[in-house]
Amino acid sequence: MNPSEVVQQWIRAINERDLEGIVSCFAEDYEDEAPARTGETVHGRDQVRANFERLLVSMPDLRAEVRTVVDQGDSVWMEWVMRGTRTDGTRMEFVGVNLFEVAAGVLRRGRIYTELVRHAGGLGGQVDRMTTGS
């Protein structure tokens, strides 16, 4: 299975609400980091399982969509969006880019760049946060 196929299998499992299918896309010793959020890491398949179980329970209509996938050797880059309705009725939309290393047909290591979709005050708000830290 090539890296793009592994990613497509993972997204399909999310949309089918197949927890074991989701988890099977990851290596037992999977490692993940979020470089833009220091300390946010995932260690191992059990943590992957716990994270996705929580997502599936808290958002019964959770859906994921791949916007772009790029294979390069044993790596795959993907841009995606995830949407759902929380049990309290509020909507969630989460966008991001993942960079995965794939080995033996599973995701082995990853870096994730994500953000909850929100009104951020336009480009001026972004520049303010960059220049003032607030």
Confidence of residue 20 (pLDDT cuts 50, 70, 90): very high
Confidence of residue 133 (pLDDT cuts 50, 70, 90): confident
What pLDDT is recorded for position 120?
61
Q: Express each pLDDT in 39-53 by its tens digit.
A: 788 999 999 999 999
Architecture, CATH, for domain 3-132: Roll (3.10)
- Which is nearest to 72 in space by CA: 10, 1, 2, 8? 2
**How remote is the C-alpha of 124 from its chain's centroid?**
28
Examine the pLDDT at 122 and tell me if it is beyond 70.
no
Beta bridge partners of 98: 78, 112
Provide the 8-state DSSP code for 7: H
Question: Using CA atoms, how far apart are residues 62 and 49, in angstroms rounded to an integer?
Answer: 15
Q: Name the helix (H) or strand (E) containing 9.
A: helix 3-15
Residues constituting the chain: 134
Question: Using CA atoms, how far apart are residues 77 and 98, in angstroms rounded to an integer?
Answer: 6
